Each structure stands twice: as structure tokens, then as C-alpha cells.
């Protein structure tokens, strides 16, 4: 897909992987809808950087709130007239063995990482189905392919994201849908240990450009493309 003038909506784009992807999409000439949940200042910083390059938009989004999802999608469409690419990036984690996780921690991970992603996709699809070319990039994880001690609920959500991606690709053959699977990445979620998030952002953008020649529904394992 050619990214110039495409409209890209990225959930959780005020920091980390989402931030880096937003800036890189803007550099490719895309109009970027930058979203934030709890930290408006960080969202504003990313928006300003993107908007210097290409017309962008800043909007609040809580993927755990259906009203927030609906309002976000409607405002982006009102602003740009379309949503060509959805990057479902928002995510949270609890680094605890399952017996140590409380109900709030379990619910927060499931509602953000999986249910929120599914509902965000549901809200965007009516607009995408009217277009000739559109794409959904779901940020899953290496922890959605291999179990990791201390990440039981997180792994469950990311395995779920990959299953959702694969099934949706079968149901919606006109829309390109991919799971991008980062390994350990240096963001707030990992106490800034791991790969540079900009490298993950580059893989997300290359996925949107269909550089990797992967069939819709497939996995884009970041570690295969960043050495």
C-alpha cells in the first residue's frame, strides 16, 4: 500500500511503539490520528511532531470504553473522511504469576489488550468496508506465540489477538489484516528493557507498505526483520 495521504489511526500512540509508529507514518506522508488515554501532554508532544511533517489529529481514546471508541472513530472520519489503516497498539501488562494477579489486573489486561482491540476493530470496519484498499495491523506479541512464566493473562490476550486476526482475515478477504509480534521492547511496560521501539515502528510501517509479502491473517515476527 502506498502510504502518502492515507489516514492512519493508532491506538495508544502517545508513547512507546505507538509513538514511534505515528512519527514514521507521518514521515511516509500519511495523515495520522494520534490517540492518548491518561497522558494528554505526551499525546500533544507526539501530535506536534507528526503535524510538523503531515496534517495530523490528536484525540482522546480509552479502548475500554465503548462510547470513547465510537466518538474517536467518528471524529477521525469527520476530520479526514476515511480511515485507511487501523493500528491496534494499546496494551497493558501485569508481570505477576497468575495466583498473584487480582481481578482488577486480570480484567484490565483482557479489556485493553483483547476486548478493546476487538471493539475498536468493530467500530472501524463499517468505514473500511466501503473502501477499495484498507488494512488492520494488530500488535500482538512474541508472548502470543510462546508461553512465558509470569505473563499468563497477558499471553492469553495476545494468543487471542492472533486468533482474532487469523479469523477476521478469512471473513474479510478485501481487507488486509496482520499480527505484528514484537519481542521484548524498551517501553514503559518493560521498564525500558529490550529492543528500540523505533525498530518495531519501522516493522509496522513496512507491514503497511506490504514489504514482507505475507498473506492476510499472517504473523509479522519483528525479530525476523530486525537483527
- Is residue 227's pLDDT more than 90? no
| pLDDT at residue 19 is higher than 80 | yes
pLDDT of residue 204: 98
What is the DSSP code string of 160-193?
HHHHHHHHHHHH-TTSEEEEEE--SBSSGGGTS-
Q: Is the pLDDT of residue 30 over 90?
A: yes
Mean confidence (pLDDT) of the chain: 97
**Mean pLDDT value across residues 73-77:** 98
> Is the pLDDT reported for residue 95 higher than 90?
yes
Active site residue 154: yes
**What's the whole-number mean pLDDT along residues 127-142?**
95
- Going by pLDDT thresholds of 50, 70 and 90, the confidence category of residue 13 is very high
Spatial neighbors of 19 by CB under 8 A, at least 6 apart, are 13, 42, 46, 197, 201
pLDDT digits over 191-217, tens only?
999 999 999 999 999 999 999 999 999
Please identify which of the residues 154, 178, 212, 225 carries the catalytic annotation.
154
The mean pLDDT of 44-71, rounded to a whole number, is 98
Q: What is the pTM of this model?
A: 0.97
Predicted confidence (pLDDT) at residue 90 exceeds the cutoff of 90? yes
Higher pLDDT, 130 or 1: 1
Q: Distance between CA 49 and CA 100 in Å, rounded?
A: 40
Q: What are the pLDDT digits (tens) for 146-195?
A: 999 999 999 999 999 999 999 999 999 999 999 999 999 999 999 999 99
Query: What is the total residue count of the chain?
Result: 227
pLDDT at 126: 96
| pLDDT (mean) for 40-45 | 98
What is the C-alpha separation between 131 and 83, in angstroms, rounded? 9
CB 86 within 8 A of CB 138: no
> Could you give the 3-state DSSP secondary structure of residue 3?
coil
Average pLDDT over residues 11-38: 98
Query: Under a CB-based contact definition with an 8 Å cutoff, are residues 97 and 71 in contact?
Result: no
Specify which residues 155 forms β-bridges with: none
Statement: residue 130 has pLDDT above 90: no
Amino acid at each position: 500500500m502506498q502510504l502518502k495521504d492515507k489516514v492512519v489511526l493508532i491506538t495508544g500512540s502517545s508513547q512507546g511503539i505507538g509513538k514511534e509508529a505515528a512519527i514514521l507514518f507521518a514521515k511516509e506522508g500519511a495523515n495520522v490520528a494520534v490517540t492518548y488515554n491518561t497522558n494528554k501532554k505526551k499525546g500533544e508532544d507526539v501530535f506536534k511532531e507528526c503535524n510538523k511533517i503531515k496534517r495530523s489529529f490528536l484525540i482522546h481514546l480509552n479502548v475500554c470504553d465503548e462510547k470513547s471508541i465510537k466518538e474517536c472513530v467518528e471524529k477521525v472520519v469527520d476530520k479526514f473522511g476515511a480511515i485507511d489503516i487501523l493500528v491496534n497498539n494499546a496494551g497493558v501488562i501485569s508481570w505477576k504469576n497468575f495466583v498473584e494477579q487480582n481481578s482488577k489486573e486480570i480484567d484490565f489486561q483482557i479489556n485493553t489488550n483483547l476486548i478493546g482491540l476487538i471493539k475498536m476493530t468493530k467500530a472501524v470496519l463499517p468505514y473500511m468496508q466501503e473502501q477499495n484498499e484498507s488494512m488492520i495491523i494488530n500488535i500482538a506479541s512474541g508472548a502470543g506465540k510462546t508461553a512465558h512464566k509470569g505473563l499468563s493473562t497477558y499471553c492469553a490476550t495476545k494468543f487471542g489477538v492472533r486468533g482474532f486476526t487469523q479469523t477476521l482475515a478469512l471473513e474479510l478477504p478485501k481487507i488486509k489484516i496482520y499480527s505484528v509480534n514484537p519481542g521484548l521492547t524498551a517501553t514503559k511496560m518493560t521498564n525500558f528493557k529490550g529492543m528500540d521501539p523505533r525498530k518495531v515502528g519501522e516493522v509496522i510501517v513496512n507491514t503497511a507498505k506490504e514489504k514482507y509479502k505475507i498473506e492476510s491473517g499472517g504473523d509479522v515476527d519483528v525479530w525476523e526483520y530486525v537483527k
